[in-house]
Amino acid sequence: MNTELLPRDRRILCAVSGGADSMYLLCRLKELSYDVCAAHYNHGLRGAASDGDETFVRDYCEREHIPFRAGRGDVRAYAGENRMSIEEAARALRYAFLEQAAEEMGAAVIATAHNAGDNGETMLLNLARGTGLKGLCGIPPVRGRVVRPMLGVTHEQALQYLAEHDIPHVEDETNQEDGYARNRVRHRAVPALESVNPAFLRTAGQTTTLLRQDEELLTSLAEEFVARYGQGNTISAQALCSQPLPIASRAVRLMAGRELSYAHVQAILKTARDGGTADVPGLTVGREGDRLVFGIKPAAPITMRTVPIPGQMDIPEAGLTLFCTKITDCPSAVHKKFNIFFFNCENICGNIMVTARQPGDRLRPVGRGCTKELKQLFREAGIPSWKRQGVPVLRDEQGVIAVYGIGTSERAAARPGDKNIIKIEIVRL
């Protein structure tokens, strides 16, 4: 057992199911004179058998004068409410209880009885489902204040210790069922690998240790990169794309602050290269200039409104205000600012409306000599796709006459010498 993970001068909370491994852990810690307490979580999944396990652990701790806490919850209901598997829900509730129990009992760390077999099985499960280096590292020895000192101890060694010391334990009958993927790996895959190498679990443990060292190094390099090029929830897209994939992919996960699949990481890196947006679980990522933004909020589409001539009108979706006046003398320098527009009244067909962009919208800006779709003009102006629905578009009954930040159309534009002019200025609130 790896006692280096265990503080000698602080209390240790031992998570005890009543099974052989957790009873081994509890009794070994007590034998080694650690200040140990115990906690048991009743998942309520096996009816009377679950209650029997709780009673067994409680009674044992009372006999041995070990401080004890018990908790329970409705795992099936929690899984349904949160769209989780039973295993995921059980783990979430169990660890929440253990953290609470540690606080109440004054424990510095929470020790769990994950053993060498659990570690090898986890590596194989992750390999079967598809994983990167992190998934092949198996079960981490330390995560927060949870420590796993038994990753080098096999289930058989635990059983031998209990037999030698006449220590009782309970058996969970579901461990023999093949309905769970882990049990199928335990009953079929591991024995097959042990037929090739009887020391498979030991060598798997050595492999996960070596891979974990590599993972820690790559993660530290990614952390250094994020510290240098990241700012808040943004990071330099150009710098990210210049990194080797092992660093870039880890930087993306660090910026996202959550686990991401290979496909999600690739989608974000494509956004860094090409722009656009990437939707990943609970997060939308988009590029704005050279900054890759994690957690963008797409602009609210601007509702169509008729522009009062003359008058003032708020555009709250975009945080803008529009001012419209009529003038009789066109300035000599027109169409130089892309938030002020001058229109010849005679060139306007019907009312002027302010809207969001519409499919197929096109504009021939003054002085450009070409007609382009707004999508292309937005791209040329560096306006990211997730902001475009919040850009005011002015139109009349024939089409687009101006776009905020882009320019005025040749068809509707006023020219020096025109006398009947509509001036529209759009400013920030």
Whether 176 has a pLDDT exceeding 90, the answer reads no
3-state SS track over 225-283? HHHHHEECCEEEHHHHHCCCHHHHHHHHHHHHCCCCCHHHHHHHHHHHHHCCEEEECCE
Each residue's pLDDT tens digit, 301-329: 899 999 999 999 999 988 999 999 998 87
Least confident of 20-29, 69-78, 173-182, 286-295: 173-182
Spatial separation of the C-alpha atoms in residues 77 and 79, rounded to whole Å: 5
Summary mean pLDDT of the chain: 91
Residue listed under structure tokens 């981490």: 140
Each residue's pLDDT tens digit, 243-265: 999 999 999 999 999 888 899 99
Give 333's pLDDT tier (boundaries 50, 70, 90).
low
Average pLDDT over residues 338-367: 90
| pLDDT in the model for residue 336 | 61
Spatial separation of the C-alpha atoms in residues 365 and 298, rounded to whole Å: 26
Q: Where are the beta strands (DSSP E) in 262-413?
A: 277-280, 283-288, 291-294, 305-306, 311-315, 320-327, 340-344, 353-355, 362-363, 372-373, 393-396, 399-403, 407-408
Paired with 399 in beta bridges are 396
Average pLDDT over residues 325-334: 76
DSSP state of 299: P
Each residue's pLDDT tens digit, 362-417: 999 887 888 999 988 988 888 888 888 889 999 999 999 999 989 899 999 888 88
| pLDDT in the model for residue 324 | 94
Whether 34 has a pLDDT exceeding 90, the answer reads yes
| Burial degree of 9 (CB within 10 A; 0-12, 13-18, 19+) | exposed
| pLDDT in the model for residue 87 | 86
Give 1's pLDDT tier (boundaries 50, 70, 90).
confident
111 vs 419, higher pLDDT: 111
| pLDDT in the model for residue 201 | 93
Paired with 236 in beta bridges are 291
Give 337's pLDDT tier (boundaries 50, 70, 90).
low
| pLDDT in the model for residue 84 | 86
| Burial degree of 397 (CB within 10 A; 0-12, 13-18, 19+) | exposed
Whether 35 has a pLDDT exceeding 90, the answer reads yes
Spatial separation of the C-alpha atoms in residues 415 and 173, rounded to whole Å: 87
Each residue's pLDDT tens digit, 64-109: 999 999 999 889 998 888 888 888 899 999 999 999 999 999 999 9
Spatial separation of the C-alpha atoms in residues 277 and 97, rounded to whole Å: 38
Phi and psi angles of residue 37, each rounded to the nearest 5 degrees, phi first: -130, 170
Q: Which of 46-50, 177-181, 229-233 has the highest mean pLDDT?
A: 229-233
In this prediction the pTM is 0.71
CA distance to 39, 216, 245, 282, per residue, from 132 (Å): 34, 13, 12, 21
Whether 335 has a pLDDT exceeding 70, the answer reads no
| pLDDT in the model for residue 332 | 64
